[in-house]
Amino acid sequence: MAGTKMKLSLVGILIFLSMALFVAAEVFFEERFDDGWEERWVKSDWKKSENMSGEWNHTAGKWSGDPQDKGLQTTEDNMHYAISAEFPEFSNKDKTLVFQFSVKHEQKLNCGGGYMKLINDTINQQTFGAHTPYSIMFGPDICGDTNKRVHVILSRNGKNNKIKKEIPFINDQLTHVYTLVIRPDATYSVLTDNELKQSGSIYDDWDILPPKKIRDPDAKKPEDWDAKEFIPDVRDTKPEGYDDIPSEIPDPNAKKPEDWNVVEKGEWKVPMIPNPQYKGPWKPKKIKNPEYKGIWKAPMIDNPEFQDDPYIYVYPNLRYVGIELWQVRAGTLFDNILICDDPEYAKKVAEETWGEIKDAEKVAFEKTKKLKEEEENGEHGTLADDIDDDEPDHEEPDWEAKLREEDEGKHDEL
């Protein structure tokens, strides 16, 4: 009897635990861009007066795994884009923060961003733009072949701190899911398509706080520190007659020209050439120094400037999610935005969205590509411009303009 009772309560505890595990996910914001999305998102008027504000298209794109599964796509080249949505304010203090979205660059991104921002406090969504301060910026950004990166920018006290590590990513024309996880122990992970691509500590991978340890600036190299790796071999001796070898010798092949005019040019002299036997002044051979101690480095000490901030990972009043981009060539499609506290839940969402459509999307993409090839063999059509063009179709990436823009705006504090 007692045994059965215990078993029952154990089962009860297990059921309770597993329920707790699955029910616990707190979702702060989720957007699949189904009907009604327009009531949740505010398109900014930023750059509108300069006619530089691009239009968004609510679409699944030119190829997709499910034509009904729509997202938001940039439509006009050489334009700025800014749009944002508000959610009930929250703090990630003592919580895991997960920021996830999917993005597809149908245009073969050559110069432009595919990132999103989390914003705190109160902003004017109507004027949201590159100048608007943000808390976290996350996602891919490309300009030319050399300027490719996945940004993870953590803002702190008005300073935008870039991640110091590289995050590999695939730059193709299919949908990929980007996930950023920030934990209360100040560690983070970046995943693409549910695969871990980078991880570490916020302390180490951003220069938000001064380093914990530094080299002692007052330490001095000991007088007797032997930093010479090689020394002359004292047992080596100069070979007999070494100094008698001349550095130059008369050219054995030179001949006095037949018509040499002694009156005009003086007596003919054999020209001198470098002596192949000559090896320069004698030096003893070098040998490894048995006293060598290596390159001296000051010892590490605690950095007096370092003041720990156990809340280095905390954003106390997150309230908006925004997309703010500049695109030389448009066609970037965002979808399935998720802000929550549970990486397992985010993983499940990624599997149920991107995971479900990725194979069909690939098929659709290959089909479009094939159509394009057929078109190219026949008459030239419009699709051809969008697929697999390695060359930009109208102009070189205007990355200088982009950098200028960044200098004037958001990136001036980096």
Ligand X SMILES: *[C@@H]1O[C@H](CO)[C@@H](O)[C@H](O)[C@H]1NC(C)=O
Q: Nearest to ligand X by Cβ — which residue?
A: 155
Q: What residues form DSSP beta bridges with 288? A: 230
* Residue of 39, 50, 145, 223 that binds ligand X (CB under 6 A): 50
In this structure, the number of other CB atoms found within 10 A of the CB of residue 110 comes to: 23
Pick from 147, 128, 143: nearest CA to 81: 128
Nearest to 84 by CA among 325, 317, 323: 323
The answer to whether 78 contacts ligand X (rule: CB under 6 A) is no
Q: Which two tokens stand for residue 90?
A: 């929250």
Could you tell me how many residues of this chain bind ligand X (CB under 6 A)? 15
Among the candidate windows 10-18, 54-62, 108-116, 365-373, which touches ligand X by CB under 6 A?
54-62
Q: Encoding tokens for residue 154?
A: 């953590």
CB under 8 Å to 227, separation ≥6 — which residues? Answer: 221, 292, 293, 294, 295, 296
Return the residue of 47, 57, 78, 371 that touches ligand X, per CB under 6 A. Answer: 57
Q: Which residue numbers belong to the known binding site for an alpha-D-glucoside?
A: 115, 117, 134, 141, 324
The footprint of ligand X on residues 135-154 (CB under 6 A) is: 135
Q: Is 51 in the site for ligand X (CB under 6 A)?
A: yes
Contact residues for 282 (Cβ-Cβ < 8 A; gap 6+) = 238, 239, 242, 243
Shortest distance (Å) from residue 410 CB to ligand X? 11
Rounded to 5 degrees, what angle do the CA atoms 269, 277, 288 make? 145
Provide the minimum distance between the beta carbon of 117 and ligand X in the complex, in angstroms, as a whole number. Answer: 10
Q: Using CA atoms, how far apart are residues 319 and 67, in angstroms rounded to an integer?
A: 31
* 120 binds ligand X per the rule CB under 6 A: yes
What's the closest the beta carbon of residue 106 comes to ligand X, in angstroms?
Answer: 8
Quick check: 316 binds ligand X (CB under 6 A)? yes
> Is residue 151 within 8 Å of residue 134, measured between CB atoms?
no
121 counts as binding ligand X under rule CB under 6 A: yes
- Strand partners of residue 334: 72, 103
Residue 5 and residue 16: Cα distance in Å, rounded? Answer: 16
Integer angstrom CA distances of residue 225 from 52, 294, 299:
64, 9, 14
Strands (E), 328-370: 332-340
| 317 lies in the site for ligand X, by CB under 6 A | yes
| Nearest to ligand X of 158, 280 (CB atom) | 158
Nearest approach in angstroms of CB 348 to ligand X is 29
Q: Please, which residue, 75 or 78, has the CB nearer to ligand X? A: 75
Which region among 10-18, 51-59, 223-231, 237-245 touches ligand X (by CB under 6 A)? 51-59
Give the shortest CB-63-to-ligand X separation in angstroms: 9
Nearer Cβ to ligand X (59/289): 59
Q: Which of residues 165-224 bind ligand X (CB under 6 A)?
A: none
Which residues contact ligand X by CB under 6 A?
50-51, 57, 59, 61-62, 75, 120-121, 133, 135, 155, 158, 316-317
